[in-house]
Chain A
């Protein structure tokens, strides 16, 4: 099935325009992502990585001329929200719930709760023994791991990760890289932003430098 659709991009967004405050971040910017591809957004702080990721998830007020998912135009970005998983730079942890309750709550939201699976996921992210700790008492890295546990809970085709490596330790970075690799090998796609140099061996990965590509666009407009 993956071969069948591989010629059509998984996601194709054309003419993304967005502004933040008074600053025009993108002006008819195009982005496309194939199935099984890893796209890294690079660029200095404030260049609009988060804004771009939020725009393609449909949770930023951006104007997109055409958004095509597997060859089918999407009229409302939220329509395809079930196909993707977004992890923001804010870990979206409920501080007054325990680790277990946090994941259970999240699996309720995505309608995929199964308590055996939860235990397994907690072990996978290396937080065994912390199940009944309040999330507020965990460290930043542990909170990040709770957020990442969602990647194991939900079945989808596109991961949109905003700074997923922030506050992770070396082991955690290795764990997440392994997940990303096995995810794209099974046909999923990943768009993420990071400032860390991360290598994916044997995967179709691409780096999009936002600042330079936008300068190119602007240069074109000036001529």
Chain B
């Protein structure tokens, strides 16, 4: 049953892909601007590559957050979910997963191409991909809390950014340093394990927090 709910959630998000493509295009554009601005010099770009990719991924996720619950809230779908027999936080978790599949996962898939463009050393690729694979779901999960709290605010993007950015910082630090460590020949196990631990924490608590945030807004409307 949960699988079918995910199927419809995914289908709905997929059919609105014009909105979802924006963050992915943004991600690619930002990363491709750096070689143009700084010159296509390997020595200059290589040390920046992981930082640039991570910051771009973070901002791209931020762009997509505002739409995570807005439409469903306005259409009264969330209140039906709240009243349904499936626990609300599970449905919220499914929504976040569907959102990540269409906004976070493409970033992970595209990241090696962009890394190549930014002359990232080949030893760093794996840690970049694994890092993004662990990190982008955290961004979606934490972002969902902010999106849930600001679902009633029109143009809530600025508030959302202010709310969420501080929570993104640890993810950014661990994620961006892992490829740098790998380039120096050090296994970045600590960074990746930290990301994995943060993912477990976020996956456990963020759906609960987001569902409580949504509930406050449903009850007050």
Contact = CB atoms under 8 A, between A and B. Distances in A.
A158 B72 CA distance: 25
A59 B82 contact: yes
B5 A57 contact: no
A31 interface: no
A131 interface: no
Interface residues of B, number: 26
A97 B5 contact: no
A72 interface: no
Contacts of B43: none
A104 B4 contact: yes
Interface in A64-111: 78, 81-82, 84, 86, 88-97, 101, 104-106, 108-111
Given A94-B75, A94-B77, A110 B11 contact: no
A14 to B, nearest CB: 20
B220 A61 contact: yes
A67 to B, nearest CB: 15
A179 B86 CA distance: 26
Contacts of B84: 81, 109-110
Interface string B70-86: 01101111011111111
A95 B85 CA distance: 22
Interface residues of A, number: 30
A60 interface: yes
Nearest to A160: B83
B76 A92 contact: yes
A92 B75 contact: yes
Contact of A86 (B16, B74, B83): B83
B86 A111 contact: yes
Contacts of B36: none
A96 B219 contact: no
A59 B76 contact: no
B80 A92 contact: yes
Contacts of B5: 105, 108-109
B77 A92 contact: yes
A61 B11 CA distance: 32
B12 interface: yes
A109 B75 CA distance: 16
A104 B71 CA distance: 20
B79 to A, nearest CB: 5
Nearest to B16: A96
B218 interface: yes
Contacts of B15: 96-97, 134
B8 A57 contact: no
Contacts of A91: 75-76
A90 B12 contact: no
Interface of B: 1, 4-5, 8, 11-12, 15-16, 71-72, 74-77, 79-86, 91, 218-220
Given A88-B76, A105-B4, A108-B5, 18 more contacts: A57-B83, A61-B219, A61-B220, A82-B85, A86-B80, A91-B75, A92-B80, A93-B77, A94-B72, A94-B75, A94-B77, A95-B75, A96-B12, A101-B8, A106-B80, A109-B84, A110-B85, A111-B86
29 contacts: A59-B219, A61-B219, A78-B83, A81-B82, A81-B85, A88-B76, A88-B80, A90-B75, A91-B75, A92-B77, A92-B80, A94-B8, A94-B72, A94-B75, A95-B71, A95-B75, A96-B11, A97-B12, A104-B4, A104-B8, A106-B80, A108-B5, A108-B86, A109-B84, A109-B91, A111-B85, A111-B86, A113-B1, A113-B4
